[in-house]
């Protein structure tokens, strides 16, 4: 009896040791990915957040043609679910298993990587420079050095239903906030929600504040806040006052605080897709999101676009645009072939394929001819005319300050906060990071 127990115990312990050993082995084999040797046979690791579908297919094709043109180079792609991406990347960068090429969100996250020496500065040739718009490149530059290659630009504006505008008797899209307020009243008269906003996710609500800030604050003020994280300029509070005044006309759908942005027919994109709401302020990915939420899963035929209206008396350029940039970075020890792959992605044929696959606006001007649908064309025209572009503030100032801004805006919308509260929340959050 005793012997049997002991044998079992030893067996159990043995099993435990074996499991632990195999777990360690698994860890170490994973870390041998990032080889720093160049010349001869090179294997590059490549991480993206693209989801299965046209986006992932684009990268598979790009890798295939790059590998074919560069004998001895093999790129191993790993697609990681968007919400898991940051945590996995952070862990990989901290250990020795960092991917050579990886999707870069930019802004505060990129700054943290630069400060920790985890991302390599890039030197672009004249040919590369010609393939990418200077405005997009400026968004990936820190202290005069470029740390990521931008792939596309996702400018933000207001998407609207042309049919509902016609029904409400709106003849031209609003160019100033007072005009927008007048249109809100007209849409209410035909019993639809004038503007949909997914405040449950906080950032869609905060984008209203971001855009008011873009109109109220000068470019220099907004850039300076990126390094100091101080929001002392009165324009920050003024932007909040503008939003508070705009809220007085009750422009948003009932129950907006618990409405999600992109998931399901009840989301803000779903409300636009089903003609329950007239407008939505969103980035350039919105037509794609709305298309998945229409009754027939096809793009909304009467979807239109106009830039965020001007705010009378603001310090910002009325043509300035807010937007997102998707880019790719190299880790500190990436071999030179990794950079060649990024250069390859900037070439006109690749940029055309990229823009088609992701339904977005390419950074290479020569590739912009593939943008043909009227909604994206009007966004692209506004982007090419923009005095300057600014990244979404929660990217620009880092997620920490961004979250506080977002929460402050949601509080204001819920009637629990003040415009000054948004500014003080951002300042307090800066102390936590």
Residues that bind another protein (CB under 8 A): 6, 9-10, 12-13, 16, 86-87, 90, 93-94, 108-109, 112-113, 115-118, 199-202, 254-255, 257-260, 266, 398-400, 403-404, 406-407, 410-411, 414, 416, 428-429, 431-433
* C-alpha closest to that of 187 among 76, 276, 58: 276
Q: How far is the CB of 261 from another protein (least distance, A)?
A: 10
Q: How far is the CB of 305 from another protein (least distance, A)?
A: 27
**Sign of CA pseudo-dihedral 95, 101, 104, 108:** positive
Whole-angstrom distance, CA of residue 191 vs CA of residue 106: 41
Whole-angstrom distance, CA of residue 289 vs CA of residue 261: 10
Closer of 330 and 345 to another protein (Cβ): 330
Closer of 289 and 403 to another protein (Cβ): 403
Place of tokens 């043509």: 319
Closer of 69 and 414 to another protein (Cβ): 414
Cβ contacts of residue 373 below 8 Å, gap of 6+?
287, 299
Closer of 264 and 349 to another protein (Cβ): 264
Longest dimension (CA), the chain: 91
Q: How far is the CB of 319 from another protein (least distance, A)?
A: 31
Q: How far is the CB of 433 from another protein (least distance, A)?
A: 5
Closer of 109 and 275 to another protein (Cβ): 109
Closer of 115 and 384 to another protein (Cβ): 115
Q: How far is the CB of 254 from another protein (least distance, A)?
A: 5
Whole-angstrom distance, CA of residue 115 vs CA of residue 123: 19
Q: 381-418: string of b/e by CB count within 10 Å (b at 16+)?
A: ebbeebeebbbbbbbbbbbbbbbbbbbbbbbbbeeebe
Given the DSSP bridges, would you call strands 157-161 and 277-282 parallel, antiparallel or unpaired? antiparallel
Q: How far is the CB of 56 from another protein (least distance, A)?
A: 26
């Amino acid at each position: 009896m005793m012997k049997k127990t002991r044998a079992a115990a030893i067996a159990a312990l043995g099993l435990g040791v074996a499991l632990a050993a195999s777990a360690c082995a698994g860890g170490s084999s994973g870390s041998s990915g990032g080889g720093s040797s160049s010349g001869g046979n090179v294997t590059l690791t490549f991480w993206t957040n693209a989801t299965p579908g046209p986006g992932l297919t684009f990268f598979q094709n790009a890798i295939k043609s790059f590998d074919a043109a560069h004998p001895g180079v093999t790129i191993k792609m790993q697609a990681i679910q968007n919400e898991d991406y940051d945590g996995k990347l952070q862990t990989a960068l901290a250990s020795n298993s960092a991917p050579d090429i990886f999707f870069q969100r930019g802004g505060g996250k990129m700054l943290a990587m630069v400060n920790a020496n985890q991302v390599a500065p890039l030197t672009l040739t004249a040919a590369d420079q010609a393939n990418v718009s200077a405005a997009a490149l400026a968004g990936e530059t820190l202290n005069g050095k470029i740390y990521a290659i931008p792939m596309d630009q996702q400018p933000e504006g207001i998407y609207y239903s042309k049919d509902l505008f016609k029904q409400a008797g709106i003849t031209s899209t609003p160019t100033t906030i007072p005009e927008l307020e007048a249109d809100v009243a007209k849409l209410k008269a035909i019993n639809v929600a004038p503007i949909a906003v997914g405040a449950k996710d906080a950032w869609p609500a905060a984008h209203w504040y971001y855009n008011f800030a873009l109109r109220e604050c000068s470019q220099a003020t907004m850039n300076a806040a990126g390094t100091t994280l101080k929001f002392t300029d009165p324009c920050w509070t003024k932007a909040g006052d503008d939003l508070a005044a705009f809220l007085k006309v009750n422009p948003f759908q009932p129950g907006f605080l618990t409405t999600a942005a992109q998931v399901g027919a009840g989301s803000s994109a779903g409300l636009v897709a089903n003609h329950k709401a007239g407008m939505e302020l969103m980035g350039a990915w919105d037509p794609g999101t709305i298309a998945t939420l229409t009754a027939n899963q096809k793009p909304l035929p009467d979807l239109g676009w106009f830039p965020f209206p001007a705010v009378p008396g603001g310090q910002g350029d009325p043509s300035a645009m807010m937007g997102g940039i998707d880019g790719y970075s190299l880790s500190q020890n990436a071999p030179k072939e990794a950079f060649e792959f990024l250069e390859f992605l900037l070439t006109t044929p690749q940029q055309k394929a990229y823009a088609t696959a992701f339904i977005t606006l390419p950074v290479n001007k020569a590739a912009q001819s593939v943008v043909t649908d009227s909604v994206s064309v009007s966004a692209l025209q506004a982007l090419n005319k923009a005095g300057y572009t600014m990244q979404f503030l929660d990217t620009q100032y880092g997620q920490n300050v961004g979250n506080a801004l977002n929460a402050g805006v949601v509080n204001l919308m819920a009637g629990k906060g003040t415009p000054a509260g948004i500014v003080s929340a951002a300042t307090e959050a800066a102390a936590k990071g």
